[in-house]
Amino acid sequence: MSSMKPAASTLHRITLAVAAPALAAALVGYGVSSGNGSTAPLAPKVTTVGRTLAQAPATGSLTISSPAFADGAPIPVLYSCRGSNFSPPLDWSAPLGAALVVDDPDAPGGTFIHWIVTGIPPGSGHNVDGGNPGGGTALPNSFGDPVYDGPCPPAGSGVHHYRFTLYQLPSGYQLPGGLVGAQAAQAIAGAATAQAQLTGTFGS
């Protein structure tokens, strides 16, 4: 009986034969296929659990309404120059952000701007009596005031329509500096990609 040890080359072949199946199984988990002769990158498969890698694009409709009056209905006196002249409460949805313009197309001297608010952030929101849409910036209206000035039609001019128009603007849009009142409103309307409108009435 021989007591000679196997040659080094023989041991090397035995070790590889035993290790090969385990190595192949490990590599399969890293995207390497075995037994078909193909070569794949040795990159681990990554699974993300419990977090979002990127925000989905904002979706939804552009809407505006008020709990104080329905579309086409009279605006309560509280929100006019004959009352407290508070801005009315509004509810809106602006998936991409928006600007708000309130105007009176029935004014004797032409369309009169009562309120302009730019920079309304994306999403849904609401304001309370007398408040600006949160995050927005009020610009001077046709009175020259950077606030809401409510319905105040001249005596004998009949029923006026007050349009609360929410305009969706392109991402990154900047209103040209120095524009106020009707000029600002026209620039906003011209740049808008969508709009939603609530109309209230008020008589003289």
pTM above 0.75, yes or no: no
Phi, psi angle pair for 86, to nearest 5°: -75, 150
Q: Where do the domains of the chain lie?
A: 8-46, 63-203
Contact 150, 173 (CB under 8 A): no
Angstrom distances, CA of residue 92 to CA of 17, 79, 81, 109, 137: 70, 18, 24, 30, 16
| pLDDT at residue 134 in the model | 87
pLDDT in tens, 162-203: 999 999 999 889 999 899 999 999 999 999 999 999 999 999
What residue ranges of the chain have pLDDT lower than 50? 1-58
DSSP sequence for 95-144 = TT-EEEEEEETT-TTS-EEEEEEEEEPSEEEEE-TTPPPTT-EEE--TTS
- Per the listing, tokens 């552009």 go with 62
Architecture label for domain 63-203: Alpha-Beta Complex (3.90)
pLDDT of residue 41: 38
Instruction: Quote the pLDDT of residue 59.
Output: 57
